[in-house]
Amino acid sequence: MTQYLYVGCVTLILFIILLVIGKRKKVLSDYIFLAWMVILLTNFATFIVISRYDYPASFAGRLLVEFSEASVFLHGPVFLFYTLSLTSPTQRIHFRQAIHLVPFVICLLFLLEGAWKGPGVSNGMRLVFTLIKMISLLAYTTGVIIQLRKHRDQVESIFSNTERKNLGWLNFLAWGIICVWGFSCLGLLLYNVSGINIPQYGAVAGNLALSCLIFLIGYYGVRQEAIFNFTGQGETILLPNQITRKTEADDIYAGATMDDLVQEVPVEETQVPAAHSDKYKNSGLTKQKAMELFEALTLFMQHQKPYQESELTLFGLAKQFKIHPNHLSQIINQHRNQNFFDYINEQRVIDVKKALLSPDYYNHSFLGIAHEFGFNSKASFNRAFKKFTGMTPSEFKRTAS
């Protein structure tokens, strides 16, 4: 029965590989994802071989099994670098990162030597490698979870719409991998210590759990787009002569790239009172100048209503307001004690509340009103409305009637 599941996973992975290869504008994350799929393809091909032949007699079969065995050392680094390629705008592949491949290479050499001789390495040596692989996978997956938490804060400092940018599916996948890790550890422990005859050397439970994750990886991985790809949105950096609300510090940013600015945007801590924070003490903005800029921003928001653009970003608003994005982030945080995401969505909710009470919108649906004022989905609209009013839209309308 398990063979049919593995064959189905192999077919699915091949289909996913073809879809990724067919993408027109591939970015670094797509290439890393493609490499990950190839590794998983060898793993599931090995599951099929082991379930049918145990340890194969042919050298080609043993080569596949041992490569798949050693490739567990690759999953952690590949998962981490895939996450970094999505969450870090300046992430690149460098030669020095090859150090992450060292455990894989060492393990593969030992396993290939055993495969060449025939029976493979001893059970003791294989168990040692397995323990190291489990520790490595857990460490890298923990690193992914930490990186995703940092990313969530960064996203809300830059985007007004975080759907498909928070990478919730990757966080779910990371915890799923930890569950697979737990199943695998339990199976291997029972197989090696208790003597219970668990198929596929005690790994069958982990392999079956991994089969379930393949569907999640394939569905979301193919659809995932670059998060910090501002080129496609037509967003460019303000030139020094375009910044009309200048400060002495603006010359520092002359010639900076969009990636540089994304890295420099401070992550806002909305729960920490701005008066107690010295985060901006070296920003170049005096208290008086920051207050003047915030008052000008308030008038700009009231009259121009840029927040009605659903995909508005910190950089897009900074370009319209003609101010450096870091200074825009600073004045919002200091004078509203909010990050960019909350600030923009509160402005949208204020307008939606007025629309819900206006006879002009009597025949409009909640979703239609939400779209008009910048929300791009019912879920994001309901969350924001509840957050800033303490009520659902229908409760608000019923109460105000």
Task: Enter the tokens of residue 27.
Answer: 């970015």
Average pLDDT, stretch 181-196? 68
Task: State the pLDDT at residue 351.
Answer: 94
Fold observed for domain 2-229: Rhopdopsin 7-helix transmembrane proteins (1.20.1070)
| pLDDT tens track for 265-322 | 666 554 444 444 566 666 677 888 889 999 999 999 999 999 999 989 999 999 999 8
| pLDDT tens track for 316-375 | 999 999 898 889 999 999 999 999 999 999 999 999 999 999 888 888 899 999 999 999
Sign of CA dihedral 145, 179, 76, 15: negative
Task: State the pLDDT at residue 192.
Answer: 62
Rounded to whole angstroms, what are the CA distances from 102 to 72, 74, 209, 273, 396? 13, 10, 27, 46, 59
Give Dmax (Cα) for the chain.
84
| pLDDT tens track for 3-47 | 788 888 899 999 999 999 998 888 899 999 999 999 999 999 988
Beta carbons within 10 angstroms of residue 135's beta carbon: 12
Rounded to whole angstroms, what are the CA distances from 299 to 296, 302, 303, 316? 5, 5, 6, 17
CATH number attached to the domain at 232-400:
1.10.10.60
What are the two backbone dihedrals, phi and then psi, of residue 400, each rounded to the nearest 5 degrees? -80, -15
Q: Kindly report the pTM of this predicted structure.
A: 0.80
Task: State the pLDDT at residue 399.
Answer: 86
User: What DSSP letter does each residue of 64-76 carry, written as one string?
Assistant: HHHHHHHTHHHHH
**Whether the predicted pLDDT of 110 surpasses 80:** yes
Task: State the pLDDT at residue 50.
Answer: 80
**Whether the predicted pLDDT of 113 surpasses 60:** yes
| pLDDT tens track for 204-231 | 566 677 888 888 888 888 888 878 776 5
User: Average model confidence (pLDDT) for the chain?
Assistant: 82
Q: How confident is the model at residue 381 (pLDDT cuts 50, 70, 90)?
A: very high
Q: How confident is the model at residue 185 (pLDDT cuts 50, 70, 90)?
A: confident
Task: State the pLDDT at residue 249.
Answer: 54
Question: Residues 99-115, buried b or exposed e (16+ Cβ, 10 A)?
Answer: ebeebbeebbebbbebb
Q: In CATH terms, are 2-229 and 232-400 the same topology?
A: no
CA distance 238 to 255: 10
Q: How confident is the model at residue 179 (pLDDT cuts 50, 70, 90)?
A: confident
Task: State the pLDDT at residue 218.
Answer: 87
Helices marked H in 88-122:
102-117
Nearest to 204 by CA among 11, 5, 47, 67: 47
Task: State the pLDDT at residue 73.
Answer: 95
CA distance 151 to 344: 19
Beta carbons within 10 angstroms of residue 289's beta carbon: 15
At 59, the amino acid letter reads F
Is the distance from CB of 86 to CB of 80 less than 8 angstroms?
Answer: no
Nearest to 156 by CA among 270, 277, 293, 274: 270
What's the start-to-end Cα distance of the chain, in Å? 61
Rounded to whole angstroms, what are the CA distances from 338 to 120, 128, 270, 271, 329? 60, 50, 5, 8, 9
What are the residue boundaries of the structural domains of the chain, listed by start? Answer: 2-229, 232-400
CA distance 81 to 230: 21
